[in-house]
Amino acid sequence: MTYARYQTLENADQLEAALREVGAERYHILHPFHRLLHTGRLTRGQVQAWALNRYYYQSRIPMKDAALMSRCADRELRREWLVRILDHDGFGEQEGGIARWLRLCQGLGLDPDYVRSEEGILPATRFAVDAYVRFVREQTLLEAVASSLTELFAPKIHEERIPGLLQNYDFVSEEMVAYFRRRLDQAPRDAGFALAYVREHADTAEKRFAVVKALIFKCDVLWAQLDALHHAYVLGGGIPKGAFVPADLPAQEAA
Ligand SMILES: O=C(O)c1cc(C(=O)O)c2c(n1)C(=O)C(=O)c1cc(C(=O)O)[nH]c1-2
């Protein structure tokens, strides 16, 4: 009956409260893999596996944002959304988030060409991330905007992750966490806009329900990626053929 209580939301305030409840219950800050990552309980190889897989998510974010913009007749919304693409891809002399993410990968000892090749990612990473891009392409514009609302909860995870990585791993330097420091400003701006948008445009109970479901879907996209990492690289569930094999993994655990 989880969903039932979201079907009768009466106004924007109730919608916002429901969205915050979904985040408090389902955001991937709660995932056991993040608990291990942020408290220094992973090996360098496991952190590499996380950064490598997460690169695929980063790489697809501008594509999903372009998909959203391609469907959008509202110039104001496009002007606002465009900034997200520039944040990730960079613009002119300005480096973007993807370049910063690659520096994190490189700092962890991964070859950037290998990371960019997308060869070593887990199947579930590809399926989850591709499902997000498809969702934004195919669902209503309102649901597409709503699916970005996990970013409401991202600053908290970055605030936890920056000191968590720096203090607990001697192989992580200040330069390597630059990506997360930038997101501390970018995410609240983006999430604030998206929240105002859904508050205004979800003007029926049916639309408010659709917005909540879009956020739940997106929480699942993030959760599924960590499930796969946890299974393959922490629980010893087996690394699929072709996926990244950390150098510090005991040989018998590799498939
Ligand atoms: O590190 C994280 O936990 C995290 C989470 C999320 C998110 O909640 O979707 C994003 C990011 N980071 C991020 O860096 C980012 O650029 C981003 C864009 C989006 C989006 O859906 O448009 N989410 C996120």
Q: Give pLDDT tens digits for 164-213.
A: 999 999 999 999 999 999 999 888 999 999 999 999 999 999 999 999 99
ipTM of the complex: 0.91
pTM for this structure?
A: 0.95
Across 98-114, average pLDDT: 97
- How does residue 2 score in pLDDT terms, banded at 50, 70 and 90? confident
The CATH number for 68's domain is 1.20.910.10
In this prediction, residue 51 carries a pLDDT of 98
| Ligand 1 pocket residue status of 154, Cβ below 6 Å | yes
Q: Is residue 190 part of a domain?
A: yes
Which residue CA neighbors atom 24 of ligand 1 most closely? Answer: 151
Q: Measuring CA to CA, which residue among 71, 2, 22, 70 is closest to residue 211?
A: 22
Q: Where residue 155 falls among pLDDT bands split at 50, 70, 90?
A: very high
Query: What is the number of H-type helices and E-type strands within the chain?
Result: 11, 0
Rg (Cα) of the chain, in Å, rounded? Answer: 18
Please give the share of the chain, as a percent, with pLDDT higher than 70.
Answer: 97
Q: Is residue 168 part of a domain?
A: yes
- On whether residue 241 sits in a domain, the answer given is no
Tokens 């000191």 belong to: 163
Which of the four pLDDT bands, split at 50, 70 and 90, describes residue 252? Answer: very low
Does ligand 1 lie within 6 Å of residue 150's CB atom? yes
Number of domains within the chain: 1
* Cβ(225) – ligand 1 distance below 6 Å: no
